[in-house]
Amino acid sequence: MKIIILGAGRVGESVAEQLVSEQNEITIIDHNADMLSRLQERFDLRGIVGNGVEPAILAEAGAADADVLLACTTVDALNLTACKVAHQSFNTPYRIARLRAAGWHAFRNLLDEDGFAVNQVICPEASITQYVRKLVEYPEALQVREFAQGLAALISVRVDYKAPMHGNPPSELEVLLPEARAHVAAVYRRFANEPDRFVPTSADTRILAGDEVFILVAMEDIRPVLRLFHQALPPVRSMMIAGGGNIGLQLARTLQDHIQLKIVDASLSRCEHLSTTLDSSVLVLQGDATDEDLLMDENVSEVDFFCALTNDDENNIMSGLLAKQLGVTRVLSLVNRRSYADLVHGTQIDIALSPAQAMMGELLAHIRQGDVHQVHSVRRGNAEAIEIAVHGNSRSSHVVGRTVGSLRMPPDTHIGLIVRGLPDPEGLHPEDLPDDGDSQSPATPVVLAARDDTEIQPGDHLIIFVPHRRTIRAVEKLFRARPTLL
């Protein structure tokens, strides 16, 4: 696939790294020649120095035969203009714009082909806000990512030594909660002097305290499943946010009606803006979140959740470590540099979150082949969970009419859940009718645990965990319907 990326900043770099590794043809445009040179030294891609909204620059980048334009600079106006130029001048088929300003969903007509011609909007700030909201709702989890219109989820949790699953194989989940629709998809274990390592889940695998476990689970079953891996934590009733930028402000707006909030920012003018924008119940403080005296004066030890969301990785890491040392139960730090995230994730800092990785799935869902509805990139892009719809019938599909256990999946790849009966927004696929013409889909969607003897039907949405990114193409190929099978 030929992809043009406009903007070589943190988001552009992360996207380029992910897509280059999947054998896409990447061209990246930026006005900073030094930044492009560094990227070209690291990755197999083409760099063009210039302004990506200029038709001549887009022409040089190959917009006329590109499959996708991803405009992800930090300036909304540039991203919107680039999409319009690519559509009107080069008829680039798919155009994605990163938009930092909130509220575009209320003016979708401005993004259609008569407007800025944007097919898809991505917003890292909104993705992070949604990420943290789910952690507030499920405090034991490290992440909760939704699938199938909110009916299913991928959760990860750090195993507690007091938890029922400690010392047991993954199959014990079915014994302890036989009615739960859940599947242990992956286990990552930290060994001495090295980062977490993937541990294949087999009958001999034992889940140990400190492991990070990924589970595919029906949304209704999340709480009881989490209790098997981590002792229950009290609800999040108070939070301190370090950093009042776009992300901190959006998060505060989302949570201010539900929990007690304090927000710290070093800029006086920003604090004044926050005070006039947020509800009066939110306490806005001017100061340095790495200042121990400030945190102690504000009784940070009584806070349920501390989120460090400034633009500075080092400040986020240091303030998170300090908050943890002072007694905060849960700490999240925003970390842009991948090397930093690998170092601190799962240590004293419970969650090291990358803005680019938080929204990566939104982009990948439009790059993947086949009818992929949702993608969530995890483990710093090394693994993915995908929702893919099955089309065809027993004659045109490799999987329809077959059982889960009979499929030749790539190593360590798991189908965890099947969501049956989801309506297709584009209408019924004619090829999804069974060979006998009798539809078997339920009237309302249902979530099923994928057992070895579960038969796959047309229209099913499969939730799959792929621990090795190099096998993604094999998964896509397996589930892609063909007009005929030879």
296 in a structural domain: yes
Domain count, the chain: 3
Verify that 374 and 351 share a domain, yes or no: no
* DSSP line for 226-239: HHHHS-------EE
Q: Is 220 helix (H, G, I), strand (E, B) or coil?
A: helix
Across 382-397, average pLDDT: 88
Instruction: Note the pLDDT tens digit of each residue in 218-259.
Output: 999 999 999 999 999 999 999 999 999 989 999 999 999 999
177 in a structural domain: no
167 in a structural domain: no
Q: Is 457 helix (H, G, I), strand (E, B) or coil?
A: coil
Verify that 405 and 341 share a domain, yes or no: no
Instruction: Note the pLDDT tens digit of each residue in 3-14.
Output: 999 999 888 888
168 in a structural domain: no
Q: Looking at the whole model, is its pTM more than 0.85? A: yes
Verify that 321 and 415 share a domain, yes or no: no
172 in a structural domain: no
Verify that 316 and 384 share a domain, yes or no: no
Verify that 325 and 368 share a domain, yes or no: no
Pair 131, 353: CB distance under 8 Å = yes
Verify that 352 and 373 share a domain, yes or no: no
Last residue of a domain, one of 91, 122, 153: 122
Verify that 350 and 409 share a domain, yes or no: no
Verify that 375 and 475 share a domain, yes or no: yes
Last residue of a domain, one of 106, 122, 138: 122
Among 31-35, 297-301, 374-378, the least confident range:
374-378
| Nearest by Cα to 465 from 103, 218, 230, 153 | 153
Across 367-392, average pLDDT: 85
Pair 282, 309: CB distance under 8 Å = no
158 in a structural domain: no
**Distance of alpha carbon 49 from alpha carbon 61, whole angstroms:** 10
274 in a structural domain: yes
pLDDT at 438: 52
Verify that 340 and 242 share a domain, yes or no: yes
Last residue of a domain, one of 94, 122, 150: 122
Instruction: Label residues 6-41 b or e (16+ Cβ within 10 Å = b).
Output: bbbbbbbbbbbbbbbeeebbbbbbbeeeebbeebee
Paired tokens of 154: 């991928």
Q: Is 333 helix (H, G, I), strand (E, B) or coil?
A: strand
Residue 431: domain span:
360-479
Verify that 378 and 349 share a domain, yes or no: no
pLDDT at 485: 41
Instruction: Note the pLDDT tens digit of each residue in 112-158.
Output: 988 999 998 888 888 889 999 999 999 999 999 999 999 999 999 99
CATH number at residue 312: 3.40.50.720
Pair 262, 289: CB distance under 8 Å = no
Among 40-44, 273-277, 340-344, the least confident range:
340-344
231 in a structural domain: no
Angle in degrees, 0-180, between the axes of helices 246-255 and 124-137, rounded to the nearest 10: 40
Verify that 385 and 281 share a domain, yes or no: no
Q: Are strands 305-308 and 283-286 parallel, antiparallel or unpaired?
A: unpaired
Verify that 323 and 416 share a domain, yes or no: no
